[in-house]
């Protein structure tokens, strides 16, 4: 198992293309200067031992060396063994609405991004809990099973989008029904389901029976509302640019509004609490208070341990490459000339 200690240094990789462009510009300038000095034929006579191709090889070696140094700064760590540890926590499943109405921009930048930010901040407040993620619209899709890997959870969370489910509309009952299959530990009694949605529901049948089934399994249902009572139109975008606004069968622009009353009803039936997600920090603090009041159940989990720094290998590799770069001269290598790897000469007929 690999962990990256300092992710921020990965941004330095963006310097490498600039380095290549600088070297390319320098090469073009040198060729122009050489042409002003003498023709290509005369340059070969004046400097017959200069290899025109080795500069490319040296550039590749330099790029690999700088890349190795950047990864040394990132400091990858490798887990050397698996161990079973005991933890205390709660099983939490996040059901995130990914229907088209979540694109409404009445909460900046839009409802879906707001929902993702709220969930991400909740995860930051967790300690020894286990979490899972469900994406739902007209149907529900298991995005991430119950896990203690918060890093993976955030990665899957950020990949949520309104195009991931082909069936559109919103069916809250399907999300709750799928959530009941997530809690795989029979001894775990503290089970929480967070539904993050604008409250729209296009299902024809009521969800009371689904909520009752969830309660029978010891699942408490909390709801978080994203959106405003005023609402807004649903933008249809292509490559980030709004092409049109969604319209109904009569050609009228659809205005999607937050249906807080439905979310309040679900939370009430599910023995949980409804929270309005306008203020992210206040919402997360309220949720933390709710979770702190719950009894923690002990469970076992396996994880990698004894992580060891690996930066020294990247430094050694970088130094080796830089030494090779110094050793390789711009002159032709005679034993390489016989192999003709750099095409430095052509057999004359």
* Residue 50 confidence (pLDDT): 59
Summarize pLDDT for 246-260 with one digit per residue, the tens: 998 889 999 999 999
Q: Quick one: pLDDT at residue 145?
A: 92
Least confident among 74-83, 100-109, 174-183, 201-210: 74-83
Least confident piece of the model among 60-64, 76-80, 115-119: 76-80
Query: Tens digit of pLDDT for each residue in 80-95?
Result: 555 666 667 889 999 9
Average pLDDT value for residue range 18-47: 74
* pLDDT the model gives residue 185: 65
pLDDT score of 348: 45
User: What is the DSSP-derived secondary structure letter of residue 204?
Assistant: S
Among 33-37, 41-45, 118-122, top mean pLDDT goes to 118-122
Helix ranges (H only) for the chain are: 15-37, 40-46, 54-74, 111-125, 150-158, 172-179, 208-216, 260-269, 280-292, 311-327, 334-339
Which of 102-111, 232-241, 265-274, 302-311 is predicted with the least confidence, judged by mean pLDDT? 302-311
What does the angle CA 124 – CA 135 – CA 203 come to, to the nearest 5 degrees?
135
**Chain-centroid distance, C-alpha 290:** 28
Identify which has the larger pLDDT, 117 or 83: 117
Higher pLDDT, 196 or 59: 196
Q: Which of 14-18, 50-54, 126-130, 180-184 has the lowest mean pLDDT?
A: 50-54
State mean pLDDT over 110-138.
94
d(CA 288, CA 273): 12
Domain ranges of the chain: 2-75+310-339, 85-302
CATH (residue range 85-302): 3.40.50.410
pLDDT over 80 at 188, yes or no: no
pLDDT at residue 349, as a whole number: 43
**Which pLDDT does position 140 carry in this prediction?**
93
Average model confidence (pLDDT) across the chain? 84
User: Is 70 exceeded by the pLDDT of residue 42?
Assistant: no
Is the pLDDT score of 232 beyond 70?
yes
Average pLDDT over residues 186-200: 85
Q: What angle do CA 70, 74, 77 make, to 5 degrees?
A: 130
- Rounded CA-CA distance 344/108 in Å is 60
304: pLDDT strictly greater than 60? no
Mean pLDDT (whole number) for 59-83: 83
């Amino acid at each position: 198992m690999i962990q990256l200690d300092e992710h921020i240094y990965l941004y330095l990789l963006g310097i490498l293309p600039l380095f290549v462009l600088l070297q390319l510009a320098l090469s073009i300038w040198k060729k122009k200067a050489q042409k002003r000095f003498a023709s290509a034929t005369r340059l070969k006579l004046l400097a017959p031992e200069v290899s025109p191709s080795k500069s490319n090889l040296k550039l590749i070696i330099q790029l690999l060396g700088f890349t190795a140094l950047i990864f040394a700064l990132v400091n990858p760590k490798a887990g050397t063994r698996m161990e079973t540890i005991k933890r205390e926590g709660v099983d939490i499943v996040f059901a995130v609405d990914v229907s088209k109405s979540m694109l409404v921009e009445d909460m900046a930048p839009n409802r879906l991004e707001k929902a993702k930010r709220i969930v991400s901040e909740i995860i930051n407040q967790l300690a020894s809990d286990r979490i899972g993620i469900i994406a739902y619209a007209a149907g529900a899709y298991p995005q991430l099973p119950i896990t203690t890997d918060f890093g993976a959870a955030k990665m899957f969370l950020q990949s949520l989008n309104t195009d991931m489910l082909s069936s559109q509309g919103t069916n809250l009952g399907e999300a709750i029904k799928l959530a009941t299959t997530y809690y795989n530990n029979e001894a775990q009694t503290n089970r929480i389901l967070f539904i993050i949605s604008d409250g729209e529901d296009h299902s024809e049948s009521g969800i009371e029976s689904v909520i009752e089934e969830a309660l029978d399994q010891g699942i408490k249902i909390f709801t978080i509302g994203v959106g405003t009572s005023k609402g807004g139109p649903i933008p249809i975008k292509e490559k980030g640019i709004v092409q049109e606004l969604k319209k109904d069968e009569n050609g009228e622009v659809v205005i999607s509004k937050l249906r807080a009353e439905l979310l309040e009803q679900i939370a009430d039936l599910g023995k949980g609490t409804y929270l309005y997600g306008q203020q992210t920090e206040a919402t997360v603090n309220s949720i933390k208070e709710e979770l702190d009041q719950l009894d923690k159940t002990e469970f076992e989990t396996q994880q990698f341990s004894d992580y060891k720094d690996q930066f020294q290998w990247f430094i050694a590799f970088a130094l080796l490459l830089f030494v090779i770069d110094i050793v390789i001269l711009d002159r032709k290598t005679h034993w390489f000339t016989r192999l003709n790897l750099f095409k430095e000469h052509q057999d004359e007929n």
